Amino acid sequence: MAIYLGIERDMLSCSDTKDYDYFIASVHYFTRPDGSHSGVDALSDVMQKYVNECCGGDGLEMAEQYFSLFRDYVIESKPAIIGHFDLVRYNNSILHLYDEESSEYRLMALEALRAMFETNALLEVNTGGVARGYMTTPYPSAFILKEWKAWGGEVIINSDCHDSGLLNAGYDQAENILLSIGYDHVVRLSSEPDKEMWERIDIKHF
């Protein structure tokens, strides 16, 4: 079977993308004015401190920073896959930093995503939060998947589970969400050595 070498590459990583067959781009950190870092998916008190000290207490400003960083990173690095696009929701159910239903939030997310779409990257449907038990639905939110579909974008399901026992955790739910939005296929790595690296697969037979 074909075996590919890939990584999830954070925006701050110094790894050379040429050493890999593909990489998943993601953003996990904000850089503070003093050069230190604050995690997007850090504990909630760390996130609240960042919002208070670096965003004037405005959670929407924090989300804007996150999406801007991510947009610029994807445009510059051209990954195969956009990883957990709205990880910025990580602490929102606890901290209520912004309203995920608001047009301000949705527009800023979609504007960043539209710019990323132009790079032809796959959008990851990431079940990692579900697999590890802190999210009830995968990243990204349904409104994002709907818009991505309308643009003609392609998706890939990944569990990002950090645990071999959970490799396909949350896949049934992710497939059902995609089907309900109108997707009929996803993209995955091909296992055939003499075929194209990526292949489309019907969701019903996934």
Q: Which of residues 99-118 bind Zn ion (CB under 5 A)?
A: none
The crossing angle, in degrees rounded to 10, of helices 59-77 and 44-54 is 90
Q: Which is nearer to Zn ion, 26 or 141 (by Cβ)?
A: 26
Nearer Cβ to Zn ion, position 37 or 146?
37
For residue 44, the minimal CB distance to Zn ion (Å) is 18
Q: Is 181 helix (H, G, I), strand (E, B) or coil?
A: helix
29 versus 181: smaller Cβ distance to Zn ion: 29
Whether cis (ω within 30° of 0) applies to the bond prior to 140 is: yes
Q: Least CB distance from residue 104 to Zn ion, whole Å?
A: 25
- Considering the complex, state which of residue 65 and residue 159 has its C-beta at the smaller distance from Zn ion: 159
Dist. CA 66–CA 87, nearest whole Å:
9
Query: Nearest approach, Cβ of 171 to Zn ion (angstroms)?
Result: 18
The footprint of Zn ion on this chain (CB under 5 A) covers a number of residues equal to 1
Least Cβ distance, residue 10 to Zn ion (angstroms): 7
- The least CB distance from residue 150 to Zn ion, in Å, is 26
Contact region for Zn ion (CB under 5 A) — 20-28, 117-125, 165-173, 185-193? 20-28
Asked whether the beta carbons of 95 and 44 are under 8 A apart, the reply is: yes
At a CB cut-off of 8 Å and minimum separation 6, what does 151 contact? 114, 117
Query: What is the DSSP pairing of strand 122-126 with strand 81-82?
Result: parallel
User: Any residues with CB less than 8 A from the CB of 190 and at least 6 apart, and which?
Assistant: 2, 196, 197, 198, 199
Name which of 157, 158, 147, 160 is nearest 116 in CA terms: 147
Q: Whose Cβ is closer to Zn ion: residue 59's or residue 128's?
A: 128
Residue with the CB atom nearest Zn ion in the bound state: 26
Between the CA of residue 83 and those of 1, 95, 158, what are the distances in Å? 25, 23, 9
Enumerate residues 21-40 that contact Zn ion by CB under 5 A.
26
Task: Report the residue number, 26 or 159, with the smaller CB distance to Zn ion.
Answer: 26
In the complex, least distance from residue 129 CB atom to Zn ion, rounded to whole angstroms? 10
Contact set with Zn ion (CB under 5 A): 26
